[in-house]
């Protein structure tokens, strides 16, 4: 057997870990403690954006504080399926914000609830996989003469293509939205549609690092008549994941994004309102170290936001910055991992065993329970 230098072996092992995306731990809490951007990391949460990865990232996940759970399973040698229940996504937050300021009082009380997120994946051959995903959210209020409802379908078609050590993850999005608002004397129904594309590459740099460039574009037309509303988003991101050793991970990334919204009421004789929001930029840095069964994480995020509101007769401009740090703690037992985000008030004030604290006094602000099922 030929002799292999220990340093070369460590570098090759680290690169294999990066390419397979089977990181030391992988959960939504892990992402949150390493800067909050899933696309900047190789992590099990990637399958929600890129459904073709369902086989490679098979796992079971229970989010104790966020109240959702699910499982992704490899089936046979080529198939993979996943089902997650009650899991919210960023699109639902945007939709809820729109509903809260539109239509009748009953309509404004709607808050679409996530029902399911289902994924199916197929490996066509070595280095080529396809995946499809569907999310559904719904809410309804019925008070006899008054009724309001909202439903949202989010469909995804994904592709994962590999050539040597390089990878390309791609997803096409299609959104379908149905709105209904009925009160005394009026009955309004409206449909909304949206579509988008998400691309992310994976390029190794040497034997200990990998580069993750990505771009995401989305456009949607959503409005409750007589209001017309258009949304367009563009996100560019670039990150480096570095593993100087198999138990050490460093992450450095940057995100630049733009969000443009225009709202107009047809026939009112007034010009519409335009909202432009730029993320210029967000810089993310994080580190993860494993010592035995213990995982320690530290993440930081700095962002600069410029917002412009152009309405009838006036233009408002706002600028803001923010800086957030988070500390994470994980415990690993074989393929089972418990991930937690440390409560900042606990770190600052200590525990509150007697009397409690108005800010809370627990050790962890969020917890993920994850079991890896990677094939």
Q: Domain residue spans in the chain?
A: 6-372
pLDDT reported for residue 4: 47
The answer to whether 211 and 203 are in contact (CB under 8 A) is: yes
CB 244 within 8 A of CB 275: no
Intra-chain end-to-end CA distance of the chain, in Å:
28
| Contact indicator for 251, 34 with CB cutoff of 8 Å | yes
Q: How far apart are CA 259 and CA 160, in angstroms?
A: 27
What does the pLDDT read at residue 206?
86
Looking at residue 269, the DSSP 8-state letter turns out to be S
For 47, 151, 153, 157, the CA distances from 174, given in Å and listed in that order, are 17, 14, 8, 9
pLDDT tens, per residue, the chain with 375 residues: 444 455 544 555 544 545 554 444 478 999 999 999 999 999 999 999 999 999 999 999 999 999 999 999 999 999 999 999 999 988 898 899 888 888 889 999 999 999 999 999 999 999 999 999 999 999 999 988 899 999 999 999 999 999 988 999 999 999 999 999 998 878 888 888 999 999 999 999 988 999 999 999 999 998 887 777 899 999 999 999 999 998 999 999 999 999 999 987 766 656 678 999 999 999 999 999 999 999 999 999 999 999 999 887 777 899 999 999 999 999 999 999 999 998 877 666 666 544 444 455 578 889 999 999 976
The whole-number pLDDT of residue 3 equals: 47
Helix (H) or strand (E) holding 108: helix 105-108
Nearest by Cα to 359 from 374, 348, 375: 348
Query: Which pLDDT value is given to residue 249?
Result: 95
CATH topology for the 6-372 domain? Porin (2.40.160)
Burial of 6 (0-12, 13-18, 19+ CB in 10 A): exposed
Q: What are phi and psi of 36, to 5 degrees?
A: 85, 10
Tokens of 113: 């609830």
Rg of the chain (C-alpha set): 23
**Mapping DSSP to helix (H, G, I), strand (E, B) and coil, where does residue 165 land?**
coil
In 3D space, the residue among 324, 326, 322, 323 whose CA is nearest the CA of residue 343 turns out to be 326
pLDDT at 281 (0 to 100): 94
What is the DSSP-derived secondary structure letter of residue 97?
H
> What's the confidence (pLDDT) of residue 227?
77
b/e map of 280-314 (b: 16 or more CB within 10 Å)?
ebbebbbbbebeeeebebbbebebeeeeeeeeeee
Q: Both tokens of residue 177?
A: 């939205």
Q: What pLDDT, on the 0 to 100 scale, is given for residue 134?
A: 97
Cα–Cα distance measured from residue 29 to residue 259, given in angstroms and rounded to the nearest whole number: 26
Q: What is the pLDDT of residue 6?
A: 52
| Dihedral pair phi/psi, residue 76, rounded to 5° | 65, -150
Instruction: Look up residue 57 and give its DSSP letter.
Output: T
214 pairs with which residues across the strands? 200, 237
CB 232 within 8 A of CB 46: no
The dihedrals phi and psi of 54, each to the nearest 5 degrees, come to -60, -35
Q: For residue 80, list its beta bridge partners.
A: 74, 121
């Amino acid at each position: 057997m030929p002799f292999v230098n220990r340093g070369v072996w460590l570098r090759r092992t680290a690169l294999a870990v990066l390419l397979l995306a089977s990181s030391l731990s992988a959960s939504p809490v892990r992402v949150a403690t390493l800067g909050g951007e899933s696309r900047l990391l190789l992590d099990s949460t990637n399958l929600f954006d890129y459904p073709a990865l369902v086989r490679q990232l098979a796992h079971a996940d229970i989010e104790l504080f966020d109240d959702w759970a699910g499982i992704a399973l490899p089936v046979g040698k080529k198939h993979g399926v996943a089902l997650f229940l009650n899991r919210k996504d960023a699109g639902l937050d945007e939709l809820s914000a729109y509903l809260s300021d539109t239509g009748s009082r009953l309509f404004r009380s709607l808050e679409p609830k996530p029902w399911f997120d289902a994924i199916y994946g197929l490996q066509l051959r070595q280095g080529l996989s396809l995946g499809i995903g569907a999310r559904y959210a719904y809410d309804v209020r019925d008070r006899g003469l008054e009724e309001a409802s909202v439903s949202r379908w989010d469909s995804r078609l994904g592709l994962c293509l590999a050539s040597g050590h390089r990878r390309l993850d791609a997803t096409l999005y299609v959104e379908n939205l149905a709105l209904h608002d009925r009160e005394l004397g009026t009955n309004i129904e409206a449909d909304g549609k949206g579509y988008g594309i998400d691309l992310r590459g994976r390029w190794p740099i040497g034997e200990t690092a990998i580069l993750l460039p990505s771009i995401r574009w989305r456009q949607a037309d959503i409005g409750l008549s007589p209001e017309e509303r258009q949304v367009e988003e563009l996100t560019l991101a670039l990150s480096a994941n570095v593993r100087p050793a198999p138990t050490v991970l460093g992450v450095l990334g940057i995100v630049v994004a733009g969000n443009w919204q225009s709202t107009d009421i047809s026939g009112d004789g007034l010009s519409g309102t335009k909202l432009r929001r730029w993320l210029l930029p967000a810089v993310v840095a994080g580190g993860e170290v494993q010592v035995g069964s213990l995982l320690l994480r530290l993440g930081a995020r700095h962002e600069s936001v410029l917002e412009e509101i152009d309405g009838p007769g006036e233009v408002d401009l706002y600028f803001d910055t923010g800086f957030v740090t988070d500390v994470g703690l994980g415990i690993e037992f074989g393929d089972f991992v418990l991930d937690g985000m440390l409560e900042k008030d606990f770190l600052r004030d200590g525990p509150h065993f007697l009397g409690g604290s108005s800010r809370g006094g627990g050790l962890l602000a969020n917890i993920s329970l994850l079991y890896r099922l990677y094939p």
